[in-house]
Structure formats: C-alpha cells, structure tokens
C-alpha cells in the first residue's frame, strides 16, 4: 500500500507541474497580447493620422541594455510603440520562463542529465539575445 501511495504522489506532482507550465504559457500569451493591444490603442490615439514612410529601413545599432532602457523609459512616458514592444518582449519571455521553470523542476527531481540539457538551452538563448543585438 505504501508503494502505490508514493507513486501516486509522484504522478500528482508531475500533473501539478504540467498544470503550472500550461498556466504559465496560457497567461503569458494573454498578458503579452493584452499589453501589446493596449500599446496599439495608445499608439493609434497619438499617431492614428500619421503617414509612415516604409521605403527606408531604419536600423538601430544599440545593445540589448540600451534597447531595454529605451523601452522602459518609453513605457513610463506612455509611448504606444514602447508598450507594444513590451508586449512582444513579454511574449518572447513566456517560453523562456517555461525553460527556467523546467530547470528548477529537474533540479528538484535530481534529474541532472536534463538539468545540463536545460542549462545548455538557457545558454543558447542568452547567447542568441546577446549576439542578436551586437553588431
């Protein structure tokens, strides 16, 4: 009887983790969508009648910290394009948080092979972000 109780508790913990991950992904997408939508409304309220020139591509040579600082300042100032960008960043961070949550789960389970694999995935994400913004 003891053995089946322990196995049931392990499966229950796994189901709880899956529920947490599902909620993280679900709410992360909804929150980021809501933030971007609000940013779009703010942007249209201030710039709805502007005519954009899409014939010229403007590239910014800034590192990730400058971009984050500019977005933060723009959100504080209530600039619609910064709020939209914040929504996009939140959407990007949603699966990243899922990977981090998996890392902690594997650490608690003492499944060190998956800890190493997940840590490698996190390093790849960090390098991609770092090299993606530096020229």
Tell me the average pLDDT across 42-62: 78
Say how far apart CA 62 and CA 75 lie, in whole Å: 18
The answer to whether 96 and 125 have CB atoms below 8 angstroms apart is yes
Number of domains in the chain: 1
- In contact, 119 and 100? CB cutoff 8 Å: no
The C-alpha atoms of residue 94 and residue 29 are separated, in whole angstroms, by 7
The answer to whether position 15 is within a domain reads no
Q: Is residue 119 part of a domain?
A: yes
Q: pLDDT tens across 66-118, in order?
A: 888 888 999 999 999 999 999 999 998 898 899 998 888 888 888 899 999 99
- Pick from 3-7, 9-13, 45-49, 73-77 the range whose average pLDDT is largest: 73-77
Is 26 contained in some domain?
yes
The pLDDT of residue 60 is above 60: yes
In a domain, 56, yes or no: yes
Q: Which domain holds residue 93?
A: 20-133
For 35, the enclosing helix (H) or strand (E) is helix 2-47
Q: Indicate whether 63 belongs to any domain.
A: yes
| 91 falls within a domain | yes
Inside any domain, residue 14: no
Contact 59, 21 (CB under 8 A): no
Using the CB atoms, write b or e for 14-39: b if 16+ within 10 Å: eeebeeeeeebeeebeeebeebbeeb
Residue 8: per-residue pLDDT: 46
Stated pTM of the model: 0.72
Is 6 within a domain?
A: no
Q: With 60 as the cut, is the pLDDT of residue 38 above it?
A: yes
Mean pLDDT of 15-41: 91
**Across all residues in the chain, what is the average pLDDT?**
82
Q: What is the mean pLDDT of residues 28-56?
A: 88
Percent of the chain with pLDDT over 70: 84
Predicted confidence band of residue 15 (pLDDT cuts 50, 70, 90): confident
CB 95 within 8 A of CB 24: no
């Amino acid at each position: 009887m003891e053995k089946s109780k322990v196995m049931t508790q392990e499966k229950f913990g796994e189901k709880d983790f899956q529920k947490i991950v599902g909620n993280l992904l679900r709410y992360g997408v909804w929150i980021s969508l809501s933030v971007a939508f609000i940013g779009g409304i703010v942007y249209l309220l201030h710039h709805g009648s502007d005519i954009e020139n899409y014939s010229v591509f403007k590239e910014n040579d800034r590192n990730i910290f400058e971009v984050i600082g500019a977005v933060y300042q723009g959100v504080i100032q209530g600039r619609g394009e910064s709020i939209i960008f914040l929504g996009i960043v939140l959407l990007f961070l949603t699966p990243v948080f899922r990977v981090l949550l998996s890392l902690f789960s594997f650490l608690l389970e003492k499944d060190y092979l998956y800890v190493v694999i997940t840590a490698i995935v996190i390093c790849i994400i960090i390098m991609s972000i770092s090299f993606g913004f530096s020229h």
